[in-house]
Every structure is written in structure tokens, then in C-alpha cells.
Amino acid sequence: MSTLHVLSHSPFADSRLSSCLRVLGHEDAILLCGDAVYALTPATAARQTLDAKADSLQLFILDEDVKARNLTPPDWVRSVDYPGFVELSVQFDKVNTWL
Amino acid sequence: MKFAIALYSPAHAPSSRRALLFAQAVLAARHEIVRLFFYQDGVHSASANVVTAQDELDIPAQWRDFVNTHRLDGVVCIAAALRRGVLNEQEAERYSRPSANLSAPWDLSGLGQLHDAVQAADRLICFGGP
């Protein structure tokens, strides 16, 4: 059973991202949207944690939220638009939003 | 594929716009939305009394148009709505309040409608927070 975890809170305000990474199953993926994309901010603990998992982590980002914050995602991260978000929610068995 | 979409955040939260764009993309991809369920602060998006500044996106109006255009089942949680002052004619009368601010296309109903939607849908997608 694969789950897409959707996060929208900034990783600098709470521990949702680290909790999510802790419970993430091997078939699961993360979609960062809204302020959660700040996890890609260079030279931060959040970015380093993600980069360290580049080989094993399926990480998606909502393109418009990354652009709105003028962030440059690393090559290993996949960028999606809204149709892509819908496609991901079909592809994964469940979508769990960290409200 | 059948989608149920639950919205927990008010119209001024970015996640509310995200939910709307997601819902539009769902229909554009020829999937079905079995029900939209507005819960917690999401009930504010169904209020007819929200006035949005002219240079801002009018999310409540866009939701209303979206639900009307596609004849969707838009359900607003009655318990969440009453405590936030979102009332239809019937509830305004029942509790002797001066006016109602919720009408078609929205329906006030219980949390059971969310449970029912989840049973009927292949996916439940929730939007809330920032």
C-alpha cells in the first residue's frame, strides 16, 4: 500500500516534515506544497536532511509554490503542476495530508 | 476514478485555493468528484457574506461557480457551520438568528456525509493548514 504524503507547513515552524520522514514507508512519496517547499532552502538542516535521502526518497514539489518563493529545486526532486498532482493521487493508493 | 475532497481551511488560506485548483484539475482529467465536504474553518468558504477585496481572488465565489457549473454535491458540515455563524434559512429560523448566509448550491449536513463520500470514492483528498 503506497501513500502520498502532502505537506504544506513550513519545516521551520513545526516537526511535520521530520515526523513524516520517520513514518515514511518504502513505497511512499512526499509532495511539498505551500510553505513546505521552504524545505528546499539551500544550506538549511531541512534541505540537508532531504539531500541525504536523495537516493531513496521519492520527493515531489508543487511547481507554482516553488516558483512563487524563488527556490531552485535540486535535480533529483520532481516538479509537478496541478494535473500532475491529480495524477500522483491516482498513482498512489492513499493520499495523506498533514493538515 | 472517483474523488472525495475535504476542505478544512478558510477562504483566505492558500490551501483553499490549492483545493480549488486541484478539484478543477480532477474534472479536467475526466475524473469524478463524488462530494466536496467543507469542514471546520472550510465552512467559511460557503458563506454568502464573505466580501473579498477587489484585487484579491474571490475564493468563495469561485467555489460557488465551480459547484454550480459542474452540478457537484457541495456539503457543509452543520456542526462546524453553526458554531461559526454559517446558517441556512432553516437553521436561522430554528435558532432565531437575524439572517441566513448559506444557500444553494450548498447543503448543510452531518459528518456522516464525509464518511459516506469516502465509502463511495476511490480517493479522499484533504486540504487544510497554510
Q: Name the residues of B annotated as catalytic.
A: 77
pTM over 0.90: yes
Q: For position B74, which CATH number holds?
A: 3.40.1260.10
pLDDT 10s digits, A37-86: 999 999 999 999 999 999 999 999 999 999 999 999 999 999 999 999 99
| Among B21, B24, B130, beta carbon nearest to A34 | B130
Q: How many separate domains does chain A show? A: 1
Residue A37 sits at the vertex; the CA angle it makes with A36 and A42, to the nearest 5 degrees, is 120
What ipTM does this complex have?
0.96
What pLDDT score does B60 carry? 97
Domain that holds residue A67: 3-97
Instruction: Indicate yes or no: CB of B22 within 8 angstroms of CB of A86.
Output: yes
CA distance to partner chain B, nearest, from residue A49 (Å): 23
pLDDT 10s digits, B91-120: 999 999 999 999 999 999 999 999 999 999
What pLDDT score does B126 carry? 98
Domain that holds residue B63: 2-127
Q: By the CB < 8 Å criterion, does B28 face chain A?
A: yes
Work out the number of other CB atoms within 10 angstroms of the CB of residue A1.
8
pLDDT 10s digits, B50-87: 999 999 999 999 999 999 999 999 999 999 999 999 99
pLDDT 10s digits, A8-47: 999 999 999 999 999 999 999 999 999 999 999 999 999 9
Q: How many separate domains does chain B show? A: 1
Q: For position A60, which CATH number holds?
A: 3.40.1260.10
Nearby residues of B18 by Cβ (< 8 Å), 6 or more positions away: A8, A33, A34, A62, B127
For residue B126, give the nearest of A36, A39, A5 by alpha carbon.
A5
